Structure 1
Amino acid sequence: MFSSQTFFSFFPLLASGALVTLEITLLAIILSAIISFTFGLMRLSRFRFVRILATVYVEVFRGTSLLIQLFWLYFALPMLLDIQIPAMTAAVIALGLNYGAYGSEVVRSSVLSVPKGQYEAAIALNMSPYGRMRRILLPQAFVRMLPSFGNLQIELLKGTSLVYLITLTDLTYQGMILRTFDSSKTTEIFTSMLILYFILSYALTLIIRYMERRTIRGRY
C-alpha cells in the first residue's frame, strides 16, 4: 500500500531525475518558442517559397512520431554525419522541433485572428510591415496564443518521458531503475512518478496563468 514513507524513500533518486526532466523541458520550451514564431511568421510570408518551406517543416514534424524523430537524431543522424550528438542535445532538438511545429500553427492562427480592421488601420497610418507586425498584430495575437502555448508546454513536459530511451537519466529513467531493483514496489514507484509529473505540470500551468493575467491587465 502506498504511503508517505514509501514516497520519501524513493524521493532522492526520483528528484534527481525530475531535475533532468525540468532542464530538458525548459530548454526545449525555449527552442520550440523560437521555432514557433519563426515558422509561424514564415507561413504568413508574401513569398511563396518561404511559405512552402515552412509548410514542409510543419507537416513533416507534425506527421511523424516524436519517438522516431528522437531516435533518428540520436542514432541515425550521427551515422550519416560521422559525429556523436549528446543525448541531451538530441532530446532538446527533437522536442523543440516537434512542438515548434505545433506552436507555429498557434502563432499563424493567432495572428490571422486579429481583426482585419486593425491591420487596415495600421496600413492607413503608413506603418511598415515590420512595424505593423511588432506594434499592432503580435501584441494582440500574443494574448490569444498563451492558452494554446500553455497546453503545448504541458504536452512537451509529458513528451520528455521518451528521452529515457536514449539513456538520459530523467524522471522516467529513474523510476524504471527503481522498479528493476524491486518490482514488488511497482505501484508505489509509478504513483510517486505520477505525483512528481503532476507537480511539474501544475507549476507550468500556474506560470502560464500568471502570464495571461499580466498580459490582459496590461491591455485593459
Structure 2
Amino acid sequence: MINWSGYIGLILDGALVTIQLTLMGSALALVMAFLAGLGRLSRFFAVRALATAYIEFFRGTSIFVQLFWAYFVLPFFGISLTPLQAGILALGLNVGAYGAEVVRGAIKSVGREQYEACTALNLGRWQCMRHIILPQALLVMLPTFGNNAIELLKATAVVSLISLTDMTFQAQVVRAQTGNTLVPFTTILLLYFAMACVISWGVRGLERRMARGLDGVRV
C-alpha cells in the first residue's frame, strides 16, 4: 500500500515553488511590459528600436531555448543564476514581450479627445499619461494581463527541465517512485486549475474596482 500523504505533501511543496515563480515572474513581466510598451510609443527612434527588438526577439523564440540560455549559457559570460532565478528571468522576459503589445494597444485605444483635453488643460506629456491616459488604458489591459498571468503560470512547468522542484517536477518524482501516473498528475492538474481560478477572480475584482472610479478620471 502506497502512503500517499507523504507524496501529496511533496507535490504541495512543489506548488509553493510554482506560486513563487508565478508571482515573481508576473512582477518582472509587468515591469517589462510597461517599459517596452511605452518604449514603442516613444518619440525617440533608438528607444522605439530597442523596445521593438526586445518584443520581437522574445515573441519569436522558444521559451525552452530562452530558459536554457538563462541557465546554461549565461554562465559562459560570467552570469550564473540559480534555477529559480533563471526560471523567473525567462518567464518574465517572455511574457513581458507579449504584455508590451497589450500596453501599447491599450494606450492607443484611448480616444483622441482625451489627448486634446490634456492639451486644453495645459498638461505636460507625462502628466497627461499618468493622470488621464494610463488610468483608462489600464482597464483595457487588465483582462489580457490576467490571461498572460495564467499563461505564465502554465509555462512554469518548463522549469522542471532545469531540475527546479516545482510541482510538475515533483509529480514526475512521485510517478517514478510509485509507478502511478493518475494520482500525481491529476493532483497537479487540479492545482493548476485552482491557481488559474484565483488569478481570474483577482483580476475580475480589480477590474470592477477600477471601473467604478473611472468616470472620475475622464476629462
1:133-162 residue CA offsets vs partner (Å, 9 max, x unmatched): 001110000000000000000000000000
Mapped to 2, the partners of 1:56 and 1:84 lie a distance apart of 24
Mapped to 2, the partners of 1:14 and 1:218 lie a distance apart of 41
Aligned residue pairs, count: 214
Mapped to 2, the partners of 1:188 and 1:51 lie a distance apart of 49
Report the counterpart of residue 114 of structure 1 in structure 2: 110
Mapped to 1, the partners of 2:47 and 2:145 lie a distance apart of 24
Report the counterpart of residue 164 of structure 1 in structure 2: 160
Report the counterpart of residue 148 of structure 2 in structure 1: 152
**Given that residues 36 and 100 in structure 1 are in contact (C-alpha distance below 8 angstroms), is that contact kept between their aligned partners in structure 2?**
yes
Letter in 2 for 1:116: R
Letter in 2 for 1:60: F
Mapped to 2, the partners of 1:161 and 1:6 lie a distance apart of 25
Of 84, 89, 100 in structure 1, the residue corresponding to residue 85 of structure 2 is 89
Report the counterpart of residue 211 of structure 1 in structure 2: 206
Letter in 2 for 1:55: T
Report the counterpart of residue 130 of structure 1 in structure 2: 126
Secondary structure (helix, strand or coil) at the match of 1:112 reads helix
Deviation of 1:6 after TM superposition, in Å, equals 8.4
1:193 aligns with 2:188: yes
1:32 aligns with 2:29: yes
**Given that residues 6 and 188 in structure 1 are in contact (C-alpha distance below 8 angstroms), is that contact kept between their aligned partners in structure 2?**
no
Q: Percent identity?
A: 48
Letter in 2 for 1:130: W
- Structure 2, unmatched stretches of 5+, are none
Report the counterpart of residue 174 of structure 2 in structure 1: 178
Deviation of 1:27 after TM superposition, in Å, equals 0.4
Mapped to 1, the partners of 2:210 and 2:4 lie a distance apart of 38
Mapped to 2, the partners of 1:17 and 1:89 lie a distance apart of 16
Of 45, 48, 59 in structure 2, the residue corresponding to residue 51 of structure 1 is 48
Mapped to 1, the partners of 2:45 and 2:146 lie a distance apart of 31
Q: How well do the aligned residues superpose, as a CA RMSD in angstroms?
A: 1.4
1:113-148 residue CA offsets vs partner (Å, 9 max, x unmatched): 000110111112111000010011100000000000
Compute the TM-score of the two structures, normalised by the length of structure 2: 0.94
- Structure 1, unmatched stretches of 5+, are none
Give the direction of change, closer, same or farther, for the CA distance of 1:41–1:7 in structure 2 (3 Å limit): farther
Compute the TM-score of the two structures, normalised by the length of structure 1: 0.94
Mapped to 1, the partners of 2:182 and 2:19 lie a distance apart of 23
Of 75, 79, 98 in structure 2, the residue corresponding to residue 78 of structure 1 is 75
Letter in 1 for 2:194: I
**Given that residues 135 and 214 in structure 2 are in contact (C-alpha distance below 8 angstroms), is that contact kept between their aligned partners in structure 1?**
no
